Amino acid sequence: MSNAYEVNFDGLVGPTHNYGGLSYGNVASQSNSQASSSPKEAAKQGLTKMKALMDLGFKQGVLAPQERPDVDALRSIGFTGSDAQVISRAAKEAMPLLVASCSASSMWTANACTVSPSADTADGRVHFTAANLNCKFHRSIEHPTTSRILAGMFVDPQHFAHHPALPAVAQFGDEGAANHTRFCKSYGEPGVEFFVFGRSAFDSRFPAPQNYPARQTLEASQAIARLHGLSDDAVVYAQQTPAVIDQGVFHNDVISVGNGEVLFYHQDAFLDSESVLAELAEKLARRGANFKPVCVPRDAVTVDDAVKSYLFNSQLLSRADGGMLLIVPEECRNNSNVWNYLQQLTNGNGPIREVKVFDLKQSMQNGGGPACLRLRVALKDTELQAVNQGVIMTPSLYDTLNVWVDKHYRDRLSENDLADPQLLVECRTALDELTQILKLGSVYSFQLA
């Protein structure tokens, strides 16, 4: 059998990274609203993580950012004139809409799409469904460009199938891989896909949160399983506990992470935990895999600790020796409950052997940790070879991207700067160069006009 790998495609932070306070229900986004940001530092923190994982021997890729401000989106809601006039009119009449059209939120590529590896799908291809991100305006405008970028990365229709985003209504609210985990014995073998939803749009028997929105619906997850040709005996659905959404767990990847045969999760993550775990164990056993749940008890780490530290928004990676490595944000070291727990965890006999800490503060202040910043794609050798090699991280691509960031990114950005029409010019100049660096072809609307 051919080799297979998990490849992490990290979002390169875009030149307009800012703190817009745009995500109701995401505590970090709300509490850092209007703080000034550093796009340059944000991009470099992300690149440092990509480089470190590449140096450790993991397969690493990069996913390009989007054109912002999104002038097309502003035009679609009635702002007219030249690009500069559209921006200045939006700034004068509806600043919150300009801020939304400037968000660099596509950096969180765990929300770009849901991916099913070829071993799981009926037609033996890798399937991608772009996420409609329907819950927030600033994110709902990502998927058309995301689809073009993914098509420029995973080109060969013999290996890759692309589905457009689900219908753009809240009933099919879909946030991509942030609510999807794939378990398997090894990456190239058939696995079990685990879909976690926040509410059902069509079945009132499922309880919903009281305060904050549940972004992912059961119906969206089921649609993706159908589109990808997944068999019922290889899919498990679970509902997130509504009360934890109300505490700021706006995606499942803020309260659990899985990889291989391991699920690392908080005691309060799922409704009916016992039956969910039993179904996972049973379906994985039928795939020849031995499910290993690692539960973090609420007595050790509270949901509030999890939301503040982003313990579960970590990357769980398989080392060559079979042990697992957890990539956590710096905020985990700053929380004594979490840090003590992690010491115990790695000193024990469980599957998670090692923890590495990264400074991702610029992204974290908008509620995006290590796991948000990456899209996982399990690929067989032949499929990896078919990926556009321009987006695979290498030491020289890392150097080129650092130089590119230094050349084009601002050190500081605050809300007033978003009204500067020069920012759009800077962004387009940078992205035009980037598509050449990454060999993506024309993916942005300014390139397609």
Task: Work out how close the CB of 103 gets to ligand SUG at its nearest, in angstroms, rounded to a whole number.
Answer: 5
402 is in an annotated binding site: no
Is the Cβ of residue 215 or residue 287 nearer to ligand SUG in the bound state? 215
User: Is 331 designated active site?
Assistant: no
Task: Work out how close the CB of 181 gets to ligand SUG at its nearest, in angstroms, rounded to a whole number.
Answer: 12
Instruction: Count the neighbouring beta carbons within 10 Å of the beta carbon of residue 261.
Output: 23
Residue window 167-206: x/- pattern of binding to ligand SUG, with contact defined by CB under 6 A: -----------x----------------------------
- 256 is a site residue for ligand SUG (CB under 6 A): no
Find the catalytic residue in 142, 372, 415, 427: 372
Residue window 349-388: x/- pattern of binding to ligand SUG, with contact defined by CB under 6 A: -----------------xxx---x----------------
Secondary structure element (H or E) that encloses residue 423, with its range: helix 421-437
Q: What is the DSSP string of 106-170?
A: GG-GGGTEEEE-GGGSTTSSEEEEE---TT-HHHHTSHHHHHHHHHHHS--TTTEEEEPPPPSSG
- Give 217's contacts (C-beta < 8 A, 6+ positions apart): 170, 171, 172, 173, 174, 197, 198, 199, 200, 201
Q: What is the DSSP string of 295-306?
A: EE-TTTS-HHHH
Residue window 8-37: x/- pattern of binding to ligand SUG, with contact defined by CB under 6 A: -----------xxxxx--x--x--------
Task: Work out how close the CB of 133 gets to ligand SUG at its nearest, in angstroms, rounded to a whole number.
Answer: 7
Query: Is 170 exposed, middle or buried, given 0-12, 13-18 or 19+ CB atoms closer than 10 A?
Result: middle
- 134 is a site residue for ligand SUG (CB under 6 A): no
User: Is 175 designated active site?
Assistant: yes
- 216 is a site residue for ligand SUG (CB under 6 A): no
User: In angstroms, how far is CA 322 from the centroid of its own chain?
Assistant: 25
Task: Work out how close the CB of 226 gets to ligand SUG at its nearest, in angstroms, rounded to a whole number.
Answer: 23
Q: Note the residue count of the chain.
A: 449
- 105 is a site residue for ligand SUG (CB under 6 A): yes
Strands 374-380 and 352-358: unpaired
- 103 is a site residue for ligand SUG (CB under 6 A): yes
How far apart CA 440 and CA 152 sit, in angstroms, is: 5
The encoded tokens of residue 169 equal 């209504």
Site size toward ligand SUG, by CB under 6 A: 21
Please report, as a single letter, which amino acid is at residue 87: I
User: Is 251 designated active site?
Assistant: yes
Residues contributing to the site for ligand SUG (CB under 6 A)? 19-23, 26, 29, 103, 105, 108, 110-111, 139, 178, 251, 253-254, 366-368, 372
- Residues with catalytic annotation? 175, 251, 372
